[in-house]
A and B are shown apart, each in its own frame.
Chain A
Amino acid sequence: MSQTAPQPAISASGLRFVWPGQAAPTLDIPAFSLDAGQSLFLYGPSGCGKSTFLAALAGVLDPGAGRIEIAGIDLSSLGGAKRDRVRADHIGMIFQVFNLVPWLGARDNVLLPCRYSARRKASAGPDPKASADRLLAELGLDDPALATAPARTLSVGQQQRVAAARALIGAPEVILADEPTSALDEAAKVRFITLLRAEAESAGAALLFVSHDRSLEPHFDASLDFEALNGGAA
């Protein structure tokens, strides 16, 4: 993909990353970008480095070479703590499983980013709790009992929707989703993706959705083969 929009939500160039102890670089990405409001489906076989790529975009890894910009902020020039700050302020993340702090209630899980980011908290409106409940309701979790129940008591599908609400709260510019539907059945997968896409779109967030399951491809604006992107990978 080339840089077409005036202000891409994510852009990366010359990205190289080698896990310690490995010969070949896991990441070798000449150029990547995703515009605000766009959704991209990124697929590739297991072990090809998709999760590593997301970790690099989220600023958890420090890629020695290359440049990553999130919402216009250059991560590569920042130290670890500042990258954590950028992640808190601008990125919502959803994982495959185990997204929630098990002993926290659903609503408190949704509100977690607001604890670490004043910006997200401010964007969540005057009453972040109400925003959390609204998001949960939009994702089909409007039972008030669910909001306070510990997250471990929720079903896997419910947990993934809570995780989606958490990624969305406070309107971050970027949503990174790492195979969030792999634990769900077919019907639930489609419902989840539809909801997530709609929410991201209405918030104007860029959605980067990673999976090896190509059947999900049609639900996104565009799709990309990670192995094609990751030129240097073995």
Chain B
Amino acid sequence: MFGLAFGSLWNRRFLAALTILSIALSVALILGVERLRNEARNGFANSASGIDLIVAPRGNSVQILMATVFGAGSTGTGLTWDTYQTVEALDQVGWAVPMQMGDNHRGYPVIGTERSYFDHFRHSGGQMLEFAEGRPFGAGESEEAVIGADVAERFGYGIGDVIVNAHGLGDVSFDMHDEAPFEISGILARTGTATDKMVFVSLAGFDEIHAERTPPEADPFAAESIAAAPDAPAQDVDHEGADGHDAEAEHGHDETHADGEDHDDHGHADESHGEDDHDHADDAHGDDQEDPHDHAHEPDQINAIYVGLKDRRAILGLQRQLTELRTDPVSAVIPAVALAELWSITGTAERAMLVMGWAVALAGMIGMIVMLSATLETRRREFAILRSVGATPGSITGMIVTEAALLMAGGILAGLALLAAATALANPVLSARFGLSLPLWIDVPQDLGILLGLFAAGLVAALIPAARVYRMTLADGLSIRL
């Protein structure tokens, strides 16, 4: 029966292929949306905890959340150090950690922050960041970096390896001037969140990456458009060179750090600074410096401030108070609220996509019924012949159901292949933009339910032509009239 069903379908392979294609599309669409949603919700919800407020240049709260916690895109123009000091000094504020972002290491976002980040940041429902190996970057040391588990795994980095970061969100490999080497001092234990894909350096270190560059890009989309290529050539610096300038990397020196491949570095003087006491070792900043009042060890601009409250009940009051801040126009984002906002935005799209997926599934199944039914008339002869050689009406009905099962199975397999291909293509973009990477193949317990449901629905749908066949073969008997 299987062989006959397959042969009969093969005989109508063009129609069968179209039917399979429409089922495949619906499978890919439904599973893809489902997968994206789950992965996004889990990943995103776990990525931000322990932070009560994110203070950033005034803007869209979702965009601020994306840029900070997920390292995707950027927050408009920067905040001044004054703002940071003002925020930190507020009564309600328990702790405040300055954040710089907008650069990358081979496609992975580089975050400039202080050591205290590792004490305050929480993920996955309140867990602290843990070091799988090593320790935080040294306080005041500009050339140490802490990397997330994915970064370490992807490039095989270990403690003591030296990496170079490029300015901007994209991996602009030819832009050699912007390189600043960092020695890896610590590797974070896997969190399953965006942190795994991040590189952390000190504020001073971050400034060194693009010391004589123009201010951070204001347009996140201009930067994002090139962020989709994390696989660009590696730019490791050999250990020798690194060790060399390790030795000479001291507080307040004006040396350029990329000794080996340095070309025309100006004597920029980005200072490492002890951020705990905010000591102001003054520094002659580069000639292209914009703010003459900037303090050497304090960054020109930061992109955001993570804030923890002494008492969380004060959060709404503080949020209001921050929006009226005099130093910079800022937004104070409550991560959970921004996430909810994000879901309400994506939720509509998700639902639309899901509805579309099920609609395509429905269309695919109707197409299957139409195809199976339409050919029944012309196949009456075939059925009568099979009856004459001993087929029961039941076995002919079974043949139709088998054909439907083959079409559904073919559609599901083709859909999974389609989804895997689409995921493989989309993952670099998703990973660069949203820190997400989707599994290529089925996630058994969750997807299997959907697939089995689709398959069963297909078989149930096939009962319509099957019932017709049953009645037809009983009525026709052996008479072969057309």
Enumerate chain A interface residues (CB-CB to B < 8 A). Answer: 51, 54-55, 58, 60-61, 80-81, 84-85, 87-89, 93, 95, 97-104, 112-113, 115-117, 166
Q: Please, what's the 1-or-0 string for B386-409, where 1 marks a CB less than 8 Å from any CB in chain A? A: 111111111100000000000000
Which residue in chain B gives the minimum CB-CB distance to A86? B390
**Which A residues touch B11, using CB under 8 A?**
102-103
Q: Is the CB of B385 within 8 A of A100?
A: yes
Given A55-B477, A61-B477, is A99 in contact with B390 using a C-beta cutoff of 8 Å? no
Docked Cα-Cα span, A85 to B482, in Å, equals 26
Question: Is B479 interfacial (CB-CB < 8 Å)?
Answer: yes
Interface size on B, residues (CB 8 A): 25
Interface centre among A58, A81, A84, by most chain B C-beta atoms within 10 angstroms, is A84
Question: Is B381 interfacial (CB-CB < 8 Å)?
Answer: yes
Question: Is B354 interfacial (CB-CB < 8 Å)?
Answer: no
Given A58-B478, A60-B477, A116-B395, is A88 in contact with B385 using a C-beta cutoff of 8 Å? no
**Which B residues touch A51, using CB under 8 A?**
478-479
**Which A residues touch B3, using CB under 8 A?**
115
Docked Cα-Cα span, A55 to B473, in Å, equals 13
Question: Is B480 interfacial (CB-CB < 8 Å)?
Answer: yes
Give the Cβ gap from B361 to chain A, nearest Cβ, in Å.
29
Given A55-B477, A55-B478, A104-B7, is A84 in contact with B392 using a C-beta cutoff of 8 Å? yes
5 further A-B contacts with Cβ under 8 Å, apart from A81-B392, A166-B389, are: A81-B394, A103-B8, A103-B11, A112-B386, A116-B386
Give the Cβ gap from A128 to chain B, nearest Cβ, in Å.
13
Given A85-B390, A116-B390, A117-B390, is A99 in contact with B477 using a C-beta cutoff of 8 Å? no
Give the Cβ gap from A106 to chain B, nearest Cβ, in Å.
14
Give the Cβ gap from B444 to chain A, nearest Cβ, in Å.
36
Docked Cα-Cα span, A98 to B479, in Å, equals 11
Give the Cβ gap from B386 to chain A, nearest Cβ, in Å.
7
**Which B residues touch A58, using CB under 8 A?**
388, 478
Q: Is the CB of B480 within 8 A of A101?
A: no
Docked Cα-Cα span, A108 to B159, in Å, equals 69
Which residue in chain A gives the minimum CB-CB distance to B11? A103
Give the Cβ gap from A64 to chain B, nearest Cβ, in Å.
15
Which residue in chain A gives the minimum CB-CB distance to B380? A98
Q: Please, what's the 1-or-0 string for B335-363, where 1 marks a CB less than 8 Å from any CB in chain A? A: 00000000000000000000000000000
Q: Is the CB of A113 within 8 A of B480?
A: no
Q: Is the CB of B390 within 8 A of A98?
A: no
Question: Is B426 interfacial (CB-CB < 8 Å)?
Answer: no
Q: Is the CB of B477 within 8 A of A101?
A: no
**Which B residues touch A104, using CB under 8 A?**
7
Docked Cα-Cα span, A60 to B393, in Å, equals 10
Interface centre among B7, B11, B388, B394, by most chain A C-beta atoms within 10 angstroms, is B388
Given A98-B381, A98-B385, A104-B7, is A84 in contact with B480 using a C-beta cutoff of 8 Å? no
Q: Is the CB of A95 within 8 A of B480?
A: yes
Q: Is the CB of B7 within 8 A of A103?
A: yes
Partner of A115, one of B4, B392, B480: B4
